[in-house]
Homo-oligomer: A and B are copies of this chain.
Amino acid sequence: MHGLSDFVFTRMLNEDPVLKTIAILGTLPSPTDNSLVQPAILLIEKTHFAIQTTDSDITQRISDLISTGSNDIYNWWNAILSPGKSNDPDLKMTVIYPATEAHIAKYSHQTRKMITETAEVYRTAVLPWIESQPKSRIQWVENILSGLKEQENVLFRDNDPNTGFIILPDSKWDKRTLSSLYLLAISQRSDVRSLRDLRPEHLPMLKNIRDKVLAMVPEKFPGVASDEIRMFVHYHPSYYHFHVHITYVTAHVPGSTVGQSHLLDTIIDNIENIDREYYSKASLRFALGVNHPIYEIITKSQIAN
């Protein structure tokens, strides 16, 4: 990779106006053979503002102000910035080169739909699909639990075969910024595939995770209090071995929205105080990408009913 001056734009793959990110498909010549032109994916993100001080506040970089309106005490403007310095870049970029069809699919816009999984559809159609998945898909989890891989990442380990778990940083966390703290607790038991399997017999495990995380995080990460920790489970999860997401209370984390996520405390309360069989009875509703295999399984089941 020599740079981007030879990048030729093909088309936009995706964008997010809230997060200020775009994914562009283009081409770049090979650095070793200029006649070979291959696909490249460019992921670009506007940077956050540098730390503001009296000497370096952003208003000093404004080269043009364009008034767009005003009402009473409110005044709206657009502004153009003069070029920044290398310690205050405007963009963060990732270039994937050469990019395969799989990379292009991964970074392309995917239509999502709201969908309801009834208890019956789970039992008759979704569970058989989960059980048909090759065990090798979660071999990486077994490797961490058994101590074969990633031991340098493990922050905490409780080896009890029934209630134990390990904690490691989520790969999306920078391991520094406490306000975006993101850890994972992975259960030692491998017989709980998801939320749907949880029964009263698992309450000791769920409470052990809750209580030890609330004690351990403030100890390992001074500055995060136990009432600033949010713990939740995804449904559907990205892999079928029970795990709990642990984030700072206000961290913006993909998938922490209602429907995708279930608070650990709510799960415990539902099983303990509402109904022992809550998760085998409930209709669960969530947004799902239409290319996810479960989308087809559920929509076909509903037509068949």
Chain A residues near B (Cβ < 8 Å): 1, 3-4, 7, 9, 12, 15-20, 22, 24, 26, 42, 44, 46-49, 52-54, 57-59, 62-67, 70, 73-86, 89-99, 112-116, 177, 179-180, 225, 227-230, 232, 249-250, 252, 256-263, 265-266, 269-270, 273-275, 278, 281-285, 287
Contacts and interface: CB of A to CB of B under 8 A. Distances in A.
B1 A20 contact: no
Contacts of A89: 66, 78-80
A109 to B, nearest CB: 10
A91 B81 CA distance: 8
B18 A47 contact: no
Complex copy number for this chain: 2
Contact of A266 (B66, B79, B256, B285): B285
Contacts of A64: 83, 86
Given A76-B94, A78-B93, A114-B228, 19 more contacts: A4-B77, A12-B52, A16-B252, A17-B48, A18-B19, A46-B47, A64-B83, A73-B99, A74-B96, A75-B95, A80-B83, A80-B91, A90-B90, A115-B227, A257-B261, A263-B285, A266-B282, A273-B283, A275-B275
Contact of A265 (B9, B52, B116): B116
B93 A76 contact: yes
Nearest to A60: B9
Contacts of A228: 112-114
Nearest to A3: B65
B114 A230 contact: yes
Given A4-B59, A79-B91, A81-B81, A86 B70 contact: no
A64 to B, nearest CB: 7
Nearest to A255: B258
B79 A52 contact: no
A182 to B, nearest CB: 12
Contacts of A256: 257-258
Contacts of A287: 230, 249-250
Given A114-B227, A256-B258, A281 B274 contact: yes
Contact of A62 (B70, B91, B92, B257): B91
A90 B57 CA distance: 15
A275 B73 CA distance: 50
B75 A1 contact: yes
B66 A79 contact: no
A255 to B, nearest CB: 9
